[in-house]
Structure 1
């Protein structure tokens, strides 16, 4: 079993706390021992600061990051030499009339360059296995799709 500890500290008190919906900032810090602090907020659509990360972006980033790390591991074990990897992931969230919402899907769009043309087929195949092993993708209740481009 593994545990992951983080500390989230609200930093958005303008002096009157949450005295009104528009009277506080959504700013907060996400910290873990020995790591740089992540300055976060809510999405700008929810009165957040667009210069800070929001939870929705962090969820999409976690899915992309987890997939990439599994993928690189699987490629190394299979003898597929990855020279570059860039994923422009997109998450879709719907909001309900009552303000609740949920993600409906995340699409990972990794652009992978491998060392040789004979590695392309195996490189493409390993995306499926990486998705099956990714701890984060296995933990969410919406589809995580892949649209890899291998060259």
Structure 2
């Protein structure tokens, strides 16, 4: 039987318009026991460019989930990951009606491991991580990976 996990959030917004009679889209999302997220729409959609937006959060969720899934599969294969960075891009298409959707996200993880004999395996595990990633499994668009693996020394 599958395990179910419930996640909860509360969104708070108050009516506020600017001089152009447009709604200001700034709002907060709260999670119990955590600091609030201050959000807006993306700048392209008349939001506050200094705040995160839902598109930022989707991209960051995919990056974070992929990394955690990748670290998990590396631990199963005794790969010692020393560092992990990622630079991602997401393509959002909109139509003339104002609707839109992401059509792809491309992750570019750079992983540093300590064993040169494991580079090929380390690179191949990104596919398994993608298969395990909760967020990628919830998306209806392609999540691509172009990974790089480097060798480094463990700091003492």
Q: Same fold (TM over 0.5)?
A: yes
The aligned counterpart of 1:48 is 47
Which residue is equivalent to 1:111?
110
In 1, Cα distance between equivalents of 2:31 and 2:119: 38
Match of 1:83 in 2: 82
Cα deviation 1:5-56 (Å, max 9, x = unaligned)? 0111115x33xx69x9744311011110011111110001111011111001
| CA displacement at 1:119 relative to structure 2 | 1.7
Spell out the pairing of 1:2-151 with structure 2 (5 A cutoff).
Answer: 2-11=5-14, 13-14=15-16, 22-151=21-150
Deviations 1:60-81 (A, max 9, x none): 1111111100001111121111
Shift of residue 109 of structure 1? 0.5
TM-score when normalising by structure 2: 0.89
Distance 1:143 1:23 in 2: 34
Alignment: residue pair count: 147
Runs of 4+ aligned residues of structure 1 deviating over 3 Å after TM superposition are 20-23
Cα RMSD over matched residues? 1.6
